[in-house]
Amino acid sequence: MIDAVVNEVRQYVLFVLCGEEYGLPIGAVRSVIRYEDPTPVPYAPQGVEGVFNLRGQILPLVDLGRQLRGAAIEPGPLSRVIVAEAGLGSVGLAVDRVCEVASIPVDQIKPAPPAAVMTAMSDAFEGVATYGDRLIILLDPDKALPKPVFMSAAAIQEGDLDG
C-alpha cells in the first residue's frame, strides 16, 4: 500500500504565463482552444476581459496573467484559452501558450515557500513541482482566481450584471 502512494502520479496541463510555467490538474480542464478576442462586457469586474462563445455556451474570459502575475498576456499565434471547471462553474483562462500534459509524481510536488507567495494568493498554489529540469508552479483550480472575481464572472455567465 505504501508503494502505491510513493508511485502515485498526477496529470497536469502545463502552460506559460509571462515566461513562467504553471500547471492545472487535468481533471479541471474541459478543453484548450485558440485565443480569440473576447466580447467586452460593460461593468465587468477587474480581471474579466469579456465573454466568449464555446459551442453555444457563453463563458467569462479571465486573463490569468493579469490575475497571477499582474501583467496581461499579449495575445499571439500561440496564445490559448484553457476552459476550466472550478468552484462556481466553467471559465476561460487566457494564457500565453499551452505546452503539454505532464505526469508528475506526487513525491516531486513540494509546498510553495511562504516567502515566495503573497499571503492573499497562497491558497491558489497547490505547490511547486520538479519536472525534468524545470520547476512548475501548480495551481489549485478552485482557488487560482480570487473568489470575488470568480463569483462576478459566474454572474456575468448567468447574465446578472448588477451583482
Q: Which amino acid is at 23?
A: G
- Tell me which residue of 151, 14, 132 sits closest to 86, measured CA to CA: 151
Helix/strand/coil for 93: strand
Is 29 within the bounds of a domain?
Answer: yes
Give the pLDDT confidence score for residue 44 in this predicted structure: 81
pLDDT band of residue 148 (cuts 50, 70, 90) is very low
User: 67-118: per-residue pLDDT in tens?
Assistant: 887 888 899 999 999 999 876 678 899 999 999 999 999 999 998 776 655 5
pLDDT score of 146 more than 50: no
Average pLDDT over residues 40-56: 87
Proportion of the chain above pLDDT 70, given as a percent: 77
Domain assignment present for residue 146? The answer is yes
Phi-psi region of 12 (alpha: psi -120 to 50; beta: other; left: phi over 0): beta
> Per the domain annotation, does 162 fall within a domain?
no
Asked if residue 163 belongs to a domain, the reply is no
User: At 142, which CATH number?
Assistant: 2.40.50.180
Host domain of residue 30:
2-157
How many structural domains is the chain composed of?
Answer: 1
d(CA 163, CA 158): 11
